[in-house]
Structure 1
Amino acid sequence: MSTASEHAGQAALSICEALLLAMNDHGVLPEHEIVGVLRDAAATHENAIGTDQETENHRAVADLINAIIAGGNSVRRS
């Protein structure tokens, strides 16, 4: 069963991906800058410290961001 927090996270991810695509489409940010933003976000979570559970959660977030980079979900690659 999904929680309200999970729905909020999915909504935030969808909004951010749409914004990244729009910024690329309108020439605001080139592809390499968008990928850089995503890499910075992943690195933040990869380097986060905390309890074992918090570290596991951050690792899962970093893995998701890295999968987005690998899949090209937030950049229309030619």
Structure 2
Amino acid sequence: MNGLSGMREENERLEGEVSRLRTELSQAAAGDGGGEKVNELLGEREAIQAKVEAMLDALAEIDPEIAAAVAG
């Protein structure tokens, strides 16, 4: 990953993955026996959320202005 542009690309990729997982989650919830799939998707969601939080932490270390914006 190369600086801020690399993090943006990674963020876009993760957002796409979250969107895909939401779609799969909706489909699984609508179908029979979707509980197992829902649990799998929720686990993936948590992993993605952890990656996004790690990216934000890395950004905060790189640029204090970003840290202030993320903090509120």
Band of TM-score, shorter chain: 0.5 to 0.7
Q: CA RMSD in A?
A: 2.6
Q: CA deviation at 1:38?
A: 1.0
Q: Any stretches of 5+ residues in structure 2 without a counterpart? A: 29-33, 63-72
Is the contact between residue 11 and residue 52 of structure 2 (CA under 8 Å) also seen in structure 1? yes
Greater share of helix residues, 1 or 2?
2
Identity of counterpart residues, as a percentage? 10
The yes-or-no answer on 1:38 pairing with 2:4 is no
Q: 1:60 and 1:72 mapped to 2: Cα distance?
A: 19
Is the contact between residue 7 and residue 55 of structure 2 (CA under 8 Å) also seen in structure 1? no
Q: 1:71 and 1:39 mapped to 2: Cα distance?
A: 14
**How many residues are paired up?**
53
User: Structure 1 length normalisation: TM-score?
Assistant: 0.51
Q: Any stretches of 5+ residues in structure 1 without a counterpart? A: 1-20
- Considering Cα pairs closer than 8 Å and 6+ residues apart, tell me whether 1 or 2 has the greater RCO: 1
Corresponding letter in the other structure for 1:58: L
- Runs of 4+ in structure 1 over 2 Å off: none
